[in-house]
Amino acid sequence: MKIFTVLGARPQFIKAALVSKELRKNHTEVLIHTGQHYDKRLSEVFFEEMGIPQPDYNLGIGSSSHAHQTGLMMIEIEKLLSSENPDLVLLYGDTNSTLAGALSAAKLQIPIAHVEAGPRMYDKSVPEEINRVMTDHISTLLFAPTVRAMENLNKEGLFEGVYLTGDVMLDNFKYFLKKAEKGSQILDTLNLEKKDYILVTIHRARNTDVEKNLRNIVDALLIISKETDILFPLHPRTKKFLTEYELMDTLIKSPNIHLIKPVGYLDMLFITKNSKIIVTDSGGLQKEAYFAKVPCITVDTSTGWPETVQQGENKIFDNVNNGFINSDKIINAIRTFQTSNKYKNIFGDGNASTKIENIITGFF
Ligand code: UD1
Ligand code: UDP
């Protein structure tokens, strides 16, 4: 069968790596890269390190406002769907590339399979929430990573075609961690010791685009950096706003803050596994912190992964004061969070990719 996969952003390349490998055993895959992420460090590096086949088409859409970006993607995807005539469209996660693929396929009445269906933040001010809800409701096969995700879908009346597969990110974590542990030199290069630094990633629009929020997050990091090293790979969106708000110099000059460019997946797994605490607003990194058994402080008021909070490994807190993120609340969370260390297999057994391939094969 011919499967038409639409990818566009960093977490999607990562999620697709092992599923694509499985699918190509029995099916033909046509890979579309929308070009939403285009920097080498946000795109090419994952194709190289994770052995993802080169895209058959790169739409080169790039960055713009939500509707403009999604609309341009849809125009190009529709053309390709008409010429390629696939049996199924395969989508991952919750980016604008996901939504563009979903709407284009649904209008042509091509069945859609959605990997990572069902997480909900119940907050429509989050652009990704809109993308997930819309995509789930027009998908034919919905692959839920957790029981909670499946229940969320059921609550919205979605039962048919819903499968509990586990999380493909756990498959990747298990498969690539051994390689990372053998090959990564990043901590030596940075002169950092294992379990002696906090790993930070920030890129959500709410945290970066609002000046006062980003300023308060930076203030918290500056104070915490007096107590411990901080390793901070910068997403380009965050770099752009740190520069615009003139916050970059202070961070660069702070001796214990190690600002680095975005890293490849293997280095990322290595610095995740060996950090003592993770401070992040990334959905994917919250899960990887759980897989790596590293305490996670989430810089957001809600999460798509409440399972990790319930297990006592991820801290979500009211981080706002007078409508803006509050530095003291972040500092306090970092200083005081104690995990429960009661890990359960809430994300499955690391074989989600095989299960997904089996379900897709059975569908035809
Ligand atoms: C997107 C996804 C988000 C996901 C994130 C993963 C949406 C709505 N958001 O957010 O769900 O968590 O990817 O990292 O789809 N930029 C570059 N180089 C690039 C790509 C982006 O410099 O290769 C800069 C541009 O200034 C751009 C900004 O980053 O305007 C934001 O990029 P965009 O893809 O719109 O959103 P992300 O914040 O990356
Ligand atoms: N990641 C990476 N290099 C980095 C930062 C993140 O490889 O410099 C990986 C991270 O390990 C996870 C994924 O990117 O697998 C998460 O993507 P991101 O935080 O961009 O998006 P989200 O998960 O929030 O949608």
What value does the mean pLDDT take over residues 151-171? 98
What strands, in cross-sheet order, belong to the sheet with 277-280? 257-260, 229-233, 197-201, 277-280, 296-298, 314-316
Indicate the residue type of 151.
Answer: E
Does residue 39 have its Cβ closer than 6 Å to ligand 1? yes
- The confidence band for 333, taking pLDDT boundaries of 50, 70 and 90, is very high
Note the CATH number of domain 175-336: 3.40.50.2000
Task: Write the burial class of residue 151 (CB in 10 Å: 0-12 exposed, 13-18 middle, 19+ buried).
Answer: middle
Same fold, 2-167+348-363 and 175-336: yes
Q: What phi and psi values does residue 116 have, to the nearest 5 degrees? A: 80, 50
Closest approach atom of ligand 1 to CA 98: 15
Distance in Å, CA 160 to ligand 2 centroid: 31
Distance in Å, CA 155 to ligand 1 centroid: 30
Q: If you ran DSSP here, which 8-state letter would residue 112 be given? A: E
Q: Identify the residues whose C-beta falls under 6 Å from ligand 2.
A: 10-11, 14, 201, 233, 262-263, 265, 268, 282-285, 288
Query: Catalytic residue at 33?
Result: no
The average confidence (pLDDT) of the chain is 97
Q: What is the pLDDT of residues 230-247, one digit of tens each?
A: 999 999 999 999 999 999
The pLDDT value recorded for residue 318 is 86
Q: Ligand 2 pocket test: pick from 129, 204, 285, 305 the residue with the most ligand atoms within 8 Å of its Cβ.
A: 285
Angstrom CA distances, 75 to 92, 127, 134, 305, stand at 19, 21, 18, 33
CATH superfamily of domain region 2-167+348-363: Glycogen Phosphorylase B; (3.40.50.2000)
Does residue 36 have its Cβ closer than 6 Å to ligand 1? yes
The pLDDT value recorded for residue 317 is 87
Q: What is the pLDDT of residues 129-148, one digit of tens each?
A: 999 999 999 999 999 999 99
Measured torsion, CA atoms of residues 201, 203, 204, 209, in degrees rounded to the nearest 10: 130
Query: Would you kindly state where each structural domain of the chain is located, as residue ranges?
Result: 2-167+348-363, 175-336
Q: Which two tokens stand for residue 149?
A: 């995700």
Q: Report yes or no: 287 and 304 within 8 Å, Cβ to Cβ.
A: no
Residue nearest to atom 19 of ligand 2 (CA): 282
